[in-house]
Structure 1
Amino acid sequence: MKKMMIMAVAAALGAAPAVAQMQGMNHGQMMQPTPANPYPAAEMDMHQKMMSAMGADATETWVRKMVEHHRGGIAMSRIVLRETKDPKVRQMATKTIAEQTKEVGELNAWLRAHGKRAQ
């Protein structure tokens, strides 16, 4: 019954093809790192932390979710640095780590300045 309800809502929203396609996928296989996609663990960690990041209001919640989003970008950039020899990608990943580390610091500074616990 629950599956039928989800399909009905998805169809009403025009998402039935995407939902049907997802139902046929083996999600366990999608989450296994491969040489072509070593990122599943970092992505899942980021998404779980973003989903659970909550504040007292929409502003604080956004700040907390963005901290986790940037940390996810840092984690993925560290992975590509281990995996690639491409100089341009290495340069971009290194720049991403530096910029997003700075942004995490700025977001945590905002939390502390507003009497909130940094994360």
Structure 2
Amino acid sequence: MKTVLKIAVAAAAVPTIFLAAALAASAQMTMPDACKSETSASGSMQMQDDEMHKGQMAEYQKALMGGMQEMHSAMMPGMMAQDPDVAFVCGMIAHHRGAISMSEVELKYGDDQQARSMAEKIIDAQKKEIEEMTTWVEEHAK
């Protein structure tokens, strides 16, 4: 019985260990200084939820944040699949959808032609890759 309990405890710890490893890896990712704002700490948002509702953010910022929240909500369950290949691809589908959402915000609010062109290219490329990954998941998920 002790062995079963140890296995159950270890299995329950896996998502926590995975999340801690992912957070450590993302903390090592460097960003250009211009990508860090005064409202961030080490490049990650430390904004209270109610600030968004108080109107302290511009409309484009609200749209970007909304897209990120949707992306993260979809990524986490997908990455918990039992098969590492399926977990990777499911996470990437959500990640690519987030890139499309951010690009659509750029097209709605941005005015720099080069940035808009990047957004259009991202949308085209990510949609094709989502189709490929969705087909792969449908064929390989057990």
Whether TM exceeds 0.5 here: the answer is yes
Give the direction of change, closer, same or farther, for the CA distance of 1:36–1:42 in structure 2 (3 Å limit). Answer: closer
Q: Does 1:82 align with 2:108?
A: yes
- Counterpart CA distance in 1 for 2:118 and 2:49 is 30
2:50 maps to 1:50: no
- Counterpart AA for 1:92: M
Q: CA-to-partner distance for each residue in 1:36-87, whole Å, 9 max, x for gaps?
A: 6231110101011111213231111111010000000001101110001211
- 1:30 positional shift: 5.2
Alignment partner for residue 34 of structure 1, among 22, 44, 58? 58
The CA distance in 1 between the partners of 2:92 and 2:60, in whole Å, is 27
In percent, how many aligned pairs have the same letter?
A: 33
Aligned to 2:95: 69
Q: Give the whole-Å Cα distance in 2 for the aligned partners of 1:43 and 1:102.
A: 20
Paired amino acid for 1:46: M
TM-score, scaled relative to structure 1: 0.68
In the alignment, does 2:135 pair up with 1:109?
Answer: yes
CA contact (8 A) 2:60 2:105 kept: no
| Dislocated runs of 4+, deviation >4 Å | 30-33
Q: In 2, Cα distance between the equivalents of 1:69 and 1:39? A: 13
Count how many residue pairs are aligned between Structure 1 and Structure 2. 96
Structure 1, gaps ≥5 residues long: 1-12
Structure 2: segments with no counterpart, 5+ residues: 1-23, 25-40
| TM-score (norm. length: structure 2) | 0.58
CA distance in 1, matches of 2:107, 2:69: 19
